[in-house]
């Protein structure tokens, strides 16, 4: 399996030329491969084979119905963070009993929806949230399945905006307070304790912080057991990174080996919440060069996608490979690849060596994760369409927004 790769001088996926996708569906356009998504899921499954475990795909990375549908068919559970994501799982035919509900700010209404749907567990992140959940559950006459997300207070060594397990982070229950909270929760009639949860950050390249954090969490599990509180599962979160440029992310087999060692002789089911690793490299953002413009010190390639389609470079200084769909011969120039949005932060890649002509197609890699799901209509730009390549065919899984869509929810003054 080759991923997005060149055949006869043109970038293809699953035997389909990306220029064909552009002709059929226009640009900008997110292009995903069913085969690559499937292979990524299977790789997780294979790595964890033999361990009692459940993969809960973190929907926030890419919550498109077809993607959720595909993972559901493959047997995945889901990690959600809102009522909207819950609705997407249901609409995509996913198994709600395999859903874990994360997030620091769930509303009573969201808790109610999750309890009514029958999710596997709600990952509670504070004493106040527990109070609300207990009240909602008792009003509904049910017991809420609960797991506390604890903050293991380790440095994951990732971009500060996507580190979540530092002491100062808003996420999770402070490690020192977790045991007391479990004891308090165990005494509440409308709460049923299921497990424990952690997630230390995203785009993790080093396994050591995950091992340190999980070790702390497992020690807490043992301390709770000594107190008579027995947990059914341990959720070690997501966060395994991918290669955007020259990172060397952990092999899933090494990750699984580490987990096997940590879980040797234990009875709890292992849960993992991968997002990026399942979808990131299975998608590109296909875009066309509109104008080339001389600049100082570098030239500009002004393309038809922008920060509203892919926010990661602007928000995190993230680097995404930008490859010509049909590389041409000629003089390499250095370009800032930018969009039409009226912000200096609107760039997709800076200082890229490319041979370009106006009208050329470019593929921005790593756009399967946190691309469409973080998109916006800024500058009143309709959102791009999404296409799933599936065994030689292209299926538009989300139509391009129209201009009318942009203000369909709005009204003028009376």
Interface with ligand LLP (CB under 6 A): 58, 60-61, 79, 102, 162, 164, 199, 202-203, 237-239, 273-277, 312, 316, 370, 374
Nearest distance from C-beta of residue 16 to ligand LLP, angstroms: 26
Nearest distance from C-beta of residue 331 to ligand LLP, angstroms: 34
Nearest distance from C-beta of residue 68 to ligand LLP, angstroms: 14
Residue (101 or 335) nearer to ligand LLP, CB: 101
Report the interhelical angle of 65-74 vs 34-47 (nearest 10°).
Answer: 40
Tokens encoding 214: 């999980």
Residue (188 or 369) nearer to ligand LLP, CB: 369
Nearest distance from C-beta of residue 311 to ligand LLP, angstroms: 8
What is the distance between the alpha carbons of residues 249 and 392, in angstroms, rounded to a whole number?
30
Residue (209 or 238) nearer to ligand LLP, CB: 238
What are the φ/ψ torsions at residue 143 (nearest 5 degrees)? Answer: -105, 130
Nearest distance from C-beta of residue 26 to ligand LLP, angstroms: 25
Tracing tokens 């340190």 back to the chain, one arrives at: 212
- 247 CB neighbour count, 10 Å cutoff: 11
What is the distance between the alpha carbons of residues 408 and 6, in angstroms, rounded to a whole number?
41
Nearest distance from C-beta of residue 34 to ligand LLP, angstroms: 20
Residue (33 or 203) nearer to ligand LLP, CB: 203
3-state SS of 30-94? EEEEHHHHHHHHHHHHHHCCCCCEEEEEEHHHCCCHHHHHHHHHHCCEEEECCHHHHHHHHHCCC
Asked whether 118 and 94 are in contact (CB, 8 A), the reply is no
Nearest distance from C-beta of residue 381 to ligand LLP, angstroms: 19
Residue (25 or 320) nearer to ligand LLP, CB: 320
What is the distance between the alpha carbons of residues 280 and 320, in angstroms, rounded to a whole number?
11
Position closest to ligand LLP via CB: 275
What is the distance between the alpha carbons of residues 122 and 101, in angstroms, rounded to a whole number?
5
Catalytic residue (one of 29, 56, 342, 385): 342
Instruction: Please report which helix (H) or strand (E) contains residue 292, including its range.
Output: strand 283-293
- Burial class of residue 127 (count of CB atoms within 10 Å of its CB; 0-12, 13-18, 19+): middle
What is the distance between the alpha carbons of residues 372 and 380, in angstroms, rounded to a whole number?
16
Residue (155 or 299) nearer to ligand LLP, CB: 155
Catalytic residue list contains 342 = yes
Residue (98 or 277) nearer to ligand LLP, CB: 277
- 264 CB neighbour count, 10 Å cutoff: 8
| DSSP code per residue over 315-361 | HH-----EEESS---S--EEEEEE-SSSSTT-EEEEEEEE---TT-E
What is the distance between the alpha carbons of residues 91 and 43, in angstroms, rounded to a whole number?
26
Catalytic machinery residues: 342
């Amino acid at each position: 399996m080759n991923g997005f790769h060149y055949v006869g001088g043109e970038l293809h996926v699953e035997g389909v030329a990306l220029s064909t996708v552009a002709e059929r569906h226009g640009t900008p356009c997110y292009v995903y491969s069913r085969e690559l998504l499937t292979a990524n899921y299977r790789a997780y499954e294979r790595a964890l084979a033999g361990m009692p475990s459940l993969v809960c795909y973190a929907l926030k990375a890419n919550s498109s119905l077809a993607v959720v549908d595909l993972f559901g068919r493959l047997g995945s559970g889901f990690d959600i963070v809102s009522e909207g994501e819950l609705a997407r799982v249901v609409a995509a035919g996913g198994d709600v009993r395999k859903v874990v509900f994360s997030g620091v700010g769930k509303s009573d209404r969201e808790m109610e929806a999750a309890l009514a749907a029958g999710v596997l567990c709600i990952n509670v992140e504070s004493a106040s949230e527990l109070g609300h959940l207990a009240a909602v559950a008792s009003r509904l006459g049910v017991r809420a399945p609960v797991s506390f997300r604890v903050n293991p207070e380790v440095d994951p060594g990732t971009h500060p905006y996507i580190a979540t397990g530092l002491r100062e982070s808003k996420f999770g229950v402070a490690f020192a307070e977790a045991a007391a909270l479990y004891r308090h929760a165990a005494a509440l009639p409308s709460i049923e304790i299921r497990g424990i949860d952690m997630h230390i950050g995203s785009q993790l390249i080093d396994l050591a912080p995950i091992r340190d954090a999980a070790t702390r969490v497992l020690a807490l599990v043992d301390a709770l057991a000594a107190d008579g509180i027995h947990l059914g599962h341990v959720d070690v979160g997501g966060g395994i990174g991918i290669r955007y440029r020259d990172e060397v992310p952990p092999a899933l087999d090494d990750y699984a080996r580490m987990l096997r060692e940590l879980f040797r002789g234990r009875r709890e089911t292992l849960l993992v919440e991968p997002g990026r690793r399942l979808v990131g490299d299975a998608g590109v953002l296909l875009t066309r060069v509109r104008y080339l413009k001389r600049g100082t010190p570098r030239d500009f390639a002004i393309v038809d996608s922008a920060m509203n389609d892919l926010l990661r470079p602007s928000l995190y200084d993230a680097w995404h490979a930008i490859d010509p769909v049909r590389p041409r011969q000629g003089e390499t120039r250095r370009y800032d690849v930018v969009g039409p949005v009226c912000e200096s932060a609107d760039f997709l890649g800076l200082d890229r060596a490319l041979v370009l002509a106006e009208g050329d197609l470019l593929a921005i890699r790593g756009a399967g994760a946190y691309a469409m799901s973080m998109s916006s209509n800024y500058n009143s730009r309709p959102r791009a369409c999404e296409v799933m390549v599936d065994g030689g065919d292209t299926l538009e899984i989300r139509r391009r927004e129209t201009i009318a869509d942009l203000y369909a929810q709005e009204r003028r003054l009376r």
